[in-house]
């Protein structure tokens, strides 16, 4: 059941991810994308859950590896890691990981590290806390 929810959520977040890529900050080329690959962690709230989506944006075809780490703080601390390879076509946003967490369970710190042949990018987002990884 939760697998079906994640698939449905991923399908509904894809259009938002593409719109988010158009709004990504940084030095931009004529097509509105950064001149180099970049990353972000998108946060969405749904009911009693918070969804974290790791994203990579690239003006050119890029492939590499990523690691998304989420650390929960509070009475029930935990550490979640997702990693793998990715490939993104030119001018597109790629989803690297999607995690659903319970709201109100302390705070979360998420860090996404993206590496490709000639560079890397790191992104960090905090939810409900000022704790560092």
Residue 15, CA atoms < 13 Å, CB-side half-sphere? 2
Task: Identify the pLDDT of residue 129.
Answer: 52
User: Where exactly are the structural domains of the chain?
Assistant: 2-127
Compute the distance between CA of residue 46 and CA of residue 104 in angstroms, rounded to an integer. Answer: 13
Full pLDDT tens readout for the chain, 133 residues: 444 444 444 444 444 443 344 334 444 444 454 567 889 999 998 888 889 999 998 888 889 999 999 988 766 678 889 999 999 988 888 899 899 888 766 788 999 999 998 889 999 999 875 444 4
Compute the distance between CA of residue 74 and CA of residue 97 in angstroms, rounded to an integer. Answer: 23
Compute the distance between CA of residue 12 and CA of residue 28 in angstroms, rounded to an integer. Answer: 27
Compute the distance between CA of residue 116 and CA of residue 18 in angstroms, rounded to an integer. Answer: 21
* Second CATH level (architecture) for the domain 2-127: Sandwich (2.60)
Task: Identify the pLDDT of residue 82.
Answer: 93
């Amino acid at each position: 059941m939760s697998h079906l929810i994640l698939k449905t959520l991923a399908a509904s977040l894809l259009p938002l991810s593409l719109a988010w890529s158009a709004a990504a900050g940084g030095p931009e080329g004529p097509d509105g994308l950064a001149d180099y690959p970049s990353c972000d962690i998108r946060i969405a709230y749904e009911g009693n859950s918070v969804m974290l989506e790791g994203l990579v944006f690239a003006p050119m075809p890029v492939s590499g590896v990523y690691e998304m780490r989420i650390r929960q703080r509070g009475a029930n601390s935990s550490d979640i890691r997702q990693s793998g390879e990715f490939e993104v076509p030119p001018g597109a946003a790629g989803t690297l990981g999607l995690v659903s967490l319970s709201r109100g369970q302390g705070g979360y710190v998420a860090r996404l590290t993206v590496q490709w042949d000639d560079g890397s990018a790191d992104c960090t987002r905090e939810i409900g806390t000022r704790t560092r990884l």
